[in-house]
């Protein structure tokens, strides 16, 4: 096969100068003719394997990178997937969580187990982050149970005492289920960004309907993307 | 034209691309033959010159002959071919270790002519080192002609050296071992094959042209148990002689350098001194193979007094010749000094214990040779195989091994580097494959550059900087001037961490006020060993790389380890 | 892209002109200047597959005590900073190695023979060896410092000419000085040259940087050379021919360099764009 030096360096994920030097020193089974590098694919593959170096032809390489960097799911798709529910019943944390878990739209999930996990997490410390908002979530991500991260938005029928950080009663809950810690943090930080805005909290207190709520979330996310 | 070009690049032929061993063997035959021929030519012209000048030896003024020879050889080297003096082996080793054995074309004949002038006129030096240099240079140039790569070229340079030694001593194994032990400094199967072939080719060419004769034949020796014990003493004497010779050569070199004469005058002065010694003790003149033969045969008649004086005189003459600018090697003088040492020791033993039936004195001469060669070169195998082959005396192998090994060990104890490597070790330029130094010298700053650092401007507010921190993967942020793009300093996240969480400061400080301007920087052409020293001295793991006052990347120990390991793997395999 | 120009300083008026030329080149192309003030009359350059010993003529060593001062004066006048190279490695005690990691090297027409030999049409054997082995182009200066205001590339269609063209584009990009291409058509049409450009993916860059492409389909080569502006930097590619071959077969480069007094930038057969 015939490649240019730059291509070879990209295939081996090495600096051009290193490959150039190795060819000159005869340490790599490539023969150079002017700017063209001549090599046998099988030989070079074997060599790279023996020296535990990567070797990908340019078209194979892209697929690998795609697999390595899955995009993080943003709030809006997660909320759309999870759904928005009003008038969640319950007078205390346990009962509210119980009725929230019932709303989870994923069938494959073991709701009893999830409920226990949520309680475990609450026992650790309250997930009420203040301003009347709580973000209950299991302590560990659920890579097995769900395909995509989702947020179940629950507007409560009555405000309850959630032992939140500012001791204010909670009226909105975002039940956060994600597949990976990374995505969990990503969603959590985005939610926190929204909640930091007092106008948004005011808006939540009006118990908006599903479509206006989701469009508000979209606006918030756009704002976040711009400042980044 | 195209066919011609293809012919010059055999490495690109498909039969050789898979495995180049066959190609290397073919080239080794060519190189071995050529360097063997060079050795024969030098040998013949030395004999011719010695015979021609023999008629003038009886005149009182004959002591100036070595002076003329040395001066001519120095002039030739300095003015005609513009090369430095010295025997050239360090140059070969240097180029092998650093530049893949690239050598100049002129080296392939320059030392032959200059050493021929020096030795032929009676200077006390050997023709072997010049022949090694020529052979190596011939190999290098043939490899260059065929556009071989560095690894292949190094092997071919080794082939050249092996062919030359094999041819001049008619000793194929010694040539092989010499080349591996001293020139290449590594034992690899891939090298051994082609070097062996070159040795065979070199030896064969010498046998065709000069006949197959053992250089120093002798009677059979009957080595007794007592002789083996006695040879330990000889080893000590030969080690002492090696050290004396090394030191004397070094000091002569230092003395002659201080004299403000041109090189050829210095060489002439040295040659003159040798000539005067030679008036009284002709044994010191030339490479000394003729007296060597009589010593090995055991028919050297002089008594202990004269032998001892000759032993010391030869050391002095050799250091005068080589230290003052004559051209030649150390090999042949070593053999002569060694055999004189052996004779001295034997005469001393006879004097002390006349009743013990010691083995013939020729045997001790032979052991002394081995002791000196191994001691000077600190290469025991070369000493053992060379003596075995040039004397054809396998029966003395046991004492031979003992003398060689003890002498090498003692010399190494006092002089850590051998005569050939001394110069390089002192300058810190000895790089052997697969060592830390060689890995570091091969890698360059350019290859380790990490370009994923985000450069910030000096007038940026801390508030804007926070957003940049979010996106960056690195802890270091180089700061540059907006207008000129020059590097000003660096911000390390660790240093500013306390301020990051203080919103009051967000609009109060610009980055120019926060950066560390007193940073050590690295330039693209810095040596990595120096860079590492700087890192260790400042206890940092990363340093910015600057070129033309602009920041171009970071260099860090983490990447270095990654690259270092790859380099080491690539260097040490095969 | 950061580039470096290597200059060997000769402490004579001729050397002054050469250094002025180097300074001008560096300022135009934004390269940094590296100056070597020789201590010995010889040094080695290890190239990829060749080692060249460069024996400087004795005028390089004239009064070393003033050399550094002279060089610094010129640099101050030119308002440019340079790095002075100190050889780190020595092959023999009086034989330093000079690294070959440069992007350009500046040479007068001869560095190992007496400067009295320097004239049109003469390029010293060492300079030729450097051109043939180096991976960087060589700036061969005119004997008197001359500013250049345009760049002229000779493009004859061969592989070396393509290299020269790429080099010209690179210089033009760095210095923002427009490029003129000269082609002496020999039995081939304009289309065939355009075909070559297209195959090398240079068409787009050609459009951007090249202001004019002169193709001479008639007239003698020497005559057509008259059209090159006197204040142009002339860029050309060199074949790897030995001296004898070029004398026998002739060569465009020989013709050009024997009748043109401009500064020449020569891309040798090993010139690689990778750096």
**Domain total for chain C?**
2
CATH number of the domain where residue B482 is located: 3.10.580.10
Query: What is residue C208's predicted lDDT score, i.e. its pLDDT?
Result: 79
In a domain, C272, yes or no: no
- 8-state DSSP, B183: I
Note whether C167 and C212 are same-domain residues.
Answer: yes
In this prediction, residues B196-225 reach a mean pLDDT of 84
Does A62 score more than 60 pLDDT? no
Contact residues for B383 (Cβ-Cβ < 8 A; gap 6+) = B370, B371, B373, B374, B377, B404, B407, B408
> What is the average pLDDT across B35-64?
85
Query: Which of B344, B336, B342, B333 shows the shortest CA–CA distance to B309?
Result: B344
What would the two tokens of residue B71 be? Answer: 């001066």
Round to whole Å and give the CA distance between B301 and B348. Answer: 15
Cβ contact (<8 Å) for B99 and C51?
Answer: yes
The H or E element that residue B566 is part of is helix B557-572
> Which of C50, C55, C95 lies nearest to residue B144, judging by beta carbons?
C50
| C-beta atoms of A35 and C275 within 8 A | no
Largest CA distance in chain A: 80
Q: What's the rounded mean pLDDT across residues B513-531?
A: 83
Specify whether B396 is located in the same domain as B509: no
Model confidence pLDDT, tens digit, residues B233-277: 999 999 999 999 989 988 888 888 888 888 888 888 888 888 888
Q: What are the structure tokens assigned to A11, written together?
A: 């295939």
Q: Do the chains contact at B102 and C101, CB–CB below 8 Å?
A: no
Question: In this model, does residue A154 exceed pLDDT 50?
Answer: yes
Residues, chain A, total? 228
What CATH number was assigned to the domain covering residues A75-227?
Answer: 3.40.930.10
Q: What residue spans in chain A does CATH classification 1.10.10 cover?
A: 2-68
Rounded CA gap, B114 and B86, in Å?
10
Q: Which of residues 233-272 of C touch A (CB under 8 A)?
A: 272
What is the distance between the alpha carbons of residues B267 and B288, in angstroms, rounded to a whole number? 20
Residue of A nearest to B443 (CA): A18
Nearest to A26 among B12, B152, B447 (CB): B152
pLDDT of residue B406: 92
Total of domains in chain B = 3
Same domain, C56 and C124: yes
Q: Give percent of chain B above pLDDT 70.
A: 96
User: B309 and B348: one domain?
Assistant: yes
Nearest CA in chain A to C272: A35
Mean pLDDT, rounded, for A99-112: 78
Lowest mean pLDDT across B188-192, B466-470, C186-190: C186-190
**Which residue in B99, B525, B548 is closest to C46 by CB distance?**
B99
Q: Shortest Cα distance from B467 to chain A (angstroms)? A: 7
- In a domain? residue C122: yes
Question: How confident is the model at residue C274, as a pLDDT?
Answer: 47
> Where does the pLDDT of residue A68 fall: very low under 50, low under 70, confident under 90, or very high at 90 and above?
very low
**C199 belongs to a structural domain:** yes
pLDDT in tens, C210-259: 888 888 877 777 777 888 888 888 888 876 555 555 555 456 677 777 78
Q: Is residue C96 part of a domain?
A: yes
Q: Which of A9, A12, A22, A53 to mutate to test the interface with B (most CBs of B within 10 A)?
A: A22
* Residues B485-497, mean pLDDT to the nearest whole number: 83
**Phi then psi for C103, rounded to 5 degrees?**
-105, -25
Structure tokens at A3: 């490649």
Predicted confidence at residue B159, as pLDDT, reads 94
The more confident residue out of A202 and B163 is: B163
B150 and B247 housed in the same domain: no
Q: Is residue B471 part of a domain?
A: yes
The answer to whether the beta carbons of residues C97 and C42 sit under 8 Å apart is no
Q: Which residue has the tokens 């300022």?
A: C27
**C91 has a chain B CB within 8 A of its CB:** yes
Give the model's pLDDT for residue B161.
Answer: 93
| Sheet with A2-4, edge to edge strand ranges | A2-4, A36-38, A31-33
- Please report all neighbours of B, defined by 3+ CB atom pairs within 8 A: A, C
Question: Helix axis angle, A210-227 relative to A198-205, nearest 10°?
Answer: 170
Chain C from 142 to 161: CB within 8 A of any A CB: 159
Mean pLDDT throughout A101-127?
A: 81
Q: Which residues of B touch A37 (CB under 8 A)?
A: none
Range of the domain at B143: 2-210
Instruction: Determine the length of chain C.
Output: 275
- Tell me the C-alpha distance between A151 and A139, whole Å: 15
C104, C159: one domain:
no
Look at the domain A2-68 and name its fold: Arc Repressor Mutant, subunit A (1.10.10)
Pairing of strands A133-134, A36-38: unpaired
* pLDDT grade for B55, boundaries at 50, 70 and 90: confident
Contact B547, C2 (CB under 8 A): yes
- Whether C29 maps to a domain, the answer reads yes
Question: Which of C106, C132, C90 is CA-nearest to residue C24?
Answer: C106
Query: Residue C225: which domain range?
Result: 150-267
In a domain, B434, yes or no: no
Shared-domain flag, residues B311 and B185? no
Domain final residue, candidates B210, B233, B267: B210
What CATH number is attached to the domain comprising B322? 1.10.3080.10
How is residue C92 written in tokens? 């023999």
Inter-axis angle of helices B150-169 and B380-391, nearest 10: 40
Average pLDDT of the segment spanning B434-461 = 83
Provide the CATH number for the domain around residue C227. 3.40.50.620
DSSP H stretches of helix in B81-224: 89-99, 107-120, 128-145, 150-169, 172-178, 189-210
Is there a contact between C176 and C28 (Cβ–Cβ < 8 Å)? no
pLDDT of residue B401: 92
Same domain, B29 and B155: yes
- CATH for C136: 3.40.50
Residue finishing a domain among C140, C158, C188: C140
Known catalytic residues of A are 137
Residue written as token pair 């024997």:
C258
Contacts of B443 in chain A (CB under 8 A): 18
Q: C84 and C184 share a domain? A: no
- Any alpha helices (H) in B211-303, and if so which ranges? 225-258, 263-280, 289-297
pLDDT grade for B419, boundaries at 50, 70 and 90: confident
* Integer Cα distance of B190 and B71 in angstroms: 43
Is B435 part of a structural domain of the chain? no
For residue A64, pLDDT beyond 60: no
For residue B149, the cross-strand partners are none
Considering the domain architecture, whether residues C178 and C124 belong to the same structural domain is answered as no
Mean pLDDT calculated for residue range C182-190: 75
> For helices B528-538 and B557-572, what crossing angle results, to 10°?
140
Residue range(s) occupied by CATH 3.40.930.10 in chain A: 75-227
- Name, in order, each residue with C-beta under 8 angstroms of C275's C-beta and a sequence gap of 6 or more: A17, C103, C135, C136
State the Cα angle at B366 between B363 and B370, rounded to 5°. 140
**Are residues B410 and B317 part of one domain?**
yes
**Interchain contact C211–B (C-beta under 8 A):** no
Q: Which residues of B touch C5 (CB under 8 A)?
A: none
Q: Which of C39, C49, C87 to mutate to test the interface with B (most CBs of B within 10 A)?
A: C49
Q: Is C187 in the same domain as C105?
A: no
Q: For residue B6, what pLDDT is reported?
A: 61
Q: Give the residue from C140, C175, C206 where a domain finishes.
A: C140
pLDDT-derived band at A66, boundaries 50, 70, 90: very low
Lowest mean pLDDT among A44-58, A86-100, A116-130, B4-18: B4-18
Confidence (pLDDT) at C272? 67
Grouping H, G, I as helix, E, B as strand and the rest as coil, residue A84 is strand
CB-based contact A128:A93 (threshold 8 Å) = no
pLDDT tens digits, one per residue of B532-572: 888 888 888 888 888 877 888 888 888 888 888 888 888 87
Mean pLDDT of chain B: 84
Residue by residue, DSSP assigns B450-470 as B--PPPEETT-BHHHHHHHHH
Distance CA B332, CA B334 (A): 5
Do B235 and B132 lie in one domain? The reply is no
Per-residue tokens: B115: 């050493």
* pLDDT(B196) > 90: yes
Residue B331: name the closest of B265, B365, B376, B362 by CA: B376
Structure confidence at residue B1 as a pLDDT band (50, 70, 90): very low
- Whether residue B170 contacts residue B208, with contact meaning beta carbons closer than 8 Å, is answered with no
Per-residue pLDDT, C103:
86
Distance from CA of C272 to the nearest CA of A (A): 7
Residue pair B453/B477 in contact by the 8 Å Cβ criterion: yes
Task: Report H helices in chain A.
Answer: 5-12, 16-25, 41-50, 58-68, 75-82, 93-103, 111-124, 181-196, 198-205, 210-227
Among the ranges given (B55-69, B342-356, B372-386, C32-46), the one the predictor scored with the smallest mean pLDDT:
B55-69
For residues C128 and C171, membership in a common domain is answered with no
What is the C-alpha separation between B77 and B110, in angstroms, rounded? 7
B417: phi > 0 → left, psi -120 to 50 → alpha, else beta; which?
A: beta
Quote the CA–CA distance of C68 and C84 in Å, as a whole number: 9
Q: Are residues C46 and C118 in the same domain?
A: yes
- Cβ count within 10 A of residue A155: 19
* B411 and B302 in a common domain: yes
Last residue of a domain, one of C121, C140, C159: C140
């Amino acid at each position: 096969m015939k490649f240019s030096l730059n291509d070879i360096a990209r295939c081996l994920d090495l600096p051009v100068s290193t490959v150039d030097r190795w060819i000159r020193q005869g340490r790599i089974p490539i023969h150079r003719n002017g700017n063209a590098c001549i090599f046998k694919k099988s030989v070079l593959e074997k060599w790279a394997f023996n020296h535990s170096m990567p070797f990908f032809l340019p078209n194979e390489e892209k697929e690998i990178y795609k697999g390595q960097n899955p995009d993080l799911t943003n709030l809006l798709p997660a909320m759309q997937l999870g759904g928005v529910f009003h008038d969640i019943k319950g007078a205390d944390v346990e009962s509210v969580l119980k009725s929230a878990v019932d709303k989870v739209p994923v069938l494959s999930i073991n709701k009893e187990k999830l409920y226990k996990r949520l309680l475990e997490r609450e026992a650790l410390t309250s997930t009420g982050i203040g301003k009347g908002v709580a973000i209950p979530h299991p302590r560990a991500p659920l890579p097995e149970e769900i395909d995509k991260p989702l947020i179940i938005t629950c507007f409560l029928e009555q405000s309850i005492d959630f032992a939140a950080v500012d001791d204010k009663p909670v009226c909105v809950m975002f039940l956060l289920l994600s597949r990976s810690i990374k995505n969990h943090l990503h969603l959590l930080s985005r939610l926190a960004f929204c909640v930091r805005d007092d106008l948004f909290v005011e808006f939540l207190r009006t118990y908006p309907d599903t479509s206006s709520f989701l469009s508000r979330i979209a606006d918030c996310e756009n704002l976040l993307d711009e400042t980044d | 034209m195209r066919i011609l070009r293809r012919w010059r690049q055999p490495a690109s032929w498909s039969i050789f691309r898979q495995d180049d061993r066959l190609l290397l063997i073919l080239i080794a035959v060519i190189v071995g033959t050529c360097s063997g021929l060079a050795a024969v030519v030098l040998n013949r012209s030395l004999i011719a010159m010695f015979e021609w000048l023999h008629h003038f030896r009886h005149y009182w003024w004959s002591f100036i002959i070595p002076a003329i020879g040395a001066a001519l050889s120095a002039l030739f080297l300095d003015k005609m071919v513009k090369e430095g003096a010295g025997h050239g082996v360090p140059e070969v080793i240097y180029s092998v270790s650093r530049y893949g054995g690239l050598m100049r074309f002129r080296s392939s004949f320059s030392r032959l002519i200059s050493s021929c002038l020096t030795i032929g006129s009676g200077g006390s030096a050997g023709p072997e080192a010049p022949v090694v240099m020529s052979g190596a240079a011939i190999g290098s140039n043939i490899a260059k002609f065929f556009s071989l790569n560095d690894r292949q070229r190094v092997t071919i340079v080794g082939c050249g050296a092996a062919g030359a030694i094999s041819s001049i001593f008619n000793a194929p194994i010694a040539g092989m071992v010499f080349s591996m032990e001293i020139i290449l400094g590594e034992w690899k199967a891939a090298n051994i094959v082609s070097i062996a072939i070159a040795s065979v080719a070199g030896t064969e060419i010498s046998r065709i042209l000069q006949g197959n004769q053992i250089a120093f034949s002798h009677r059979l020796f009957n080595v007794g148990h007592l002789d083996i014990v006695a040879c330990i003493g000889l080893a000590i004497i030969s080690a002492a002689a090696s050290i004396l010779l090394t030191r004397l050569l070094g000091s002569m070199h230092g003395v002659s350098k201080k004299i403000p004469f041109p090189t050829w005058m210095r060489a002439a002065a040295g040659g003159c001194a040798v000539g005067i010694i030679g008036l009284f003790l002709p044994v010191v003149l030339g490479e000394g193979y003729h007296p060597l033969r009589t010593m090995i045969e055991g028919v050297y008649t002089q008594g202990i007094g004269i032998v001892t004086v000759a032993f010391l005189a030869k050391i002095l003459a050799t250091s005068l010749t080589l230290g003052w600018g004559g051209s030649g090697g150390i090999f042949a003088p070593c053999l002569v000094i060694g055999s004189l040492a052996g004779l001295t020791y034997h005469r001393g033993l006879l004097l002390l214990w006349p009743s013990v039936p010691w083995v013939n004195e020729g045997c001790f001469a032979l052991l002394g040779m081995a002791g000196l060669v191994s001691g000077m070169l600190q290469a025991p195998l070369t000493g053992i195989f060379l003596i075995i082959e040039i004397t054809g005396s396998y029966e003395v192998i046991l004492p031979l091994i003992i003398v060689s090994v003890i002498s090498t060990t003692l010399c190494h104890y006092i002089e850590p580097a051998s005569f050939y490597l001394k110069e390089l070790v002192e300058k810190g330029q000895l790089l052997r494959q697969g060592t830390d130094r060689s890995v570091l010298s091969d890698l360059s700053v350019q290859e380790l550059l990490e370009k994923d650092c985000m450069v910030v401007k000096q007038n940026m507010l801390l508030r804007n900087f926070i957003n940049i921190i979010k996106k960056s993967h690195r802890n270091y942020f180089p700061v540059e001037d907006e207008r000129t793009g020059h590097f000003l300093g660096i911000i390390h996240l660790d240093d500013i961490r306390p301020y990051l969480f203080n919103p009051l400061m967000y609009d109060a400080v610009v980055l120019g006020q926060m950066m560390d301007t007193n940073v050590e920087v690295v330039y693209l052409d810095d040596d990595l060993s120096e860079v590492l020293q700087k890192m260790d001295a400042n206890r940092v793991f990363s340093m910015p790389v600057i070129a033309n006052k602009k920041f171009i990347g970071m260099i860090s120990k983490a990447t270095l380890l990654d690259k270092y390991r790859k380099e080491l793997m690539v260097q040490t395999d095969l | 892209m950061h580039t470096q120009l290597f200059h060997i300083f000769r402490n004579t008026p001729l050397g002054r002109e050469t250094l002025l030329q180097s300074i001008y080149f560096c300022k135009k192309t934004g390269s940094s200047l590296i100056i070597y003030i020789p201590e010995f009359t010889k040094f080695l350059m290890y190239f990829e597959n060749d080692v060249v010993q460069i024996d400087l003529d004795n005028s390089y060593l004239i009064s070393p005590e003033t050399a550094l001062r002279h060089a610094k004066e010129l640099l101050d006048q030119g308002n440019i900073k340079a790095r002075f190279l100190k050889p780190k490695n020595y092959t023999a005690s009086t034989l330093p190695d000079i690294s070959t990691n440069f992007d350009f090297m500046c040479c007068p027409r001869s560095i190992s023979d007496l400067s009295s030999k320097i004239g049109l049409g003469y390029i010293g054997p060492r300079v030729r060896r450097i051109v043939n082995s180096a991976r960087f182009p060589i700036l061969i200066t005119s004997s008197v410092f001359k500013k250049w205001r345009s760049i002229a590339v000779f493009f004859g269609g061969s592989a070396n000419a393509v290299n020269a063209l790429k080099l010209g584009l690179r210089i033009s990009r760095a210095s923002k000085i427009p490029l003129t291409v000269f082609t002496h058509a020999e039995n081939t049409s304009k289309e065939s040259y355009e075909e070559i450009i297209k195959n090398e993916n240079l068409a787009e860059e050609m459009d951007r940087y090249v202001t004019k492409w002169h193709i001479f389909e008639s007239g003698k080569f020497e005559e057509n050379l008259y059209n090159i502006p006197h204040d142009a930097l002339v860029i050309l590619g060199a074949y790897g021919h030995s001296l004898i071959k070029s004398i026998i077969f002739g060569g465009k480069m020989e013709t050009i360099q024997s009748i043109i007094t401009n500064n020449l930038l020569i891309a040798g057969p090993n010139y690689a764009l990778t750096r």
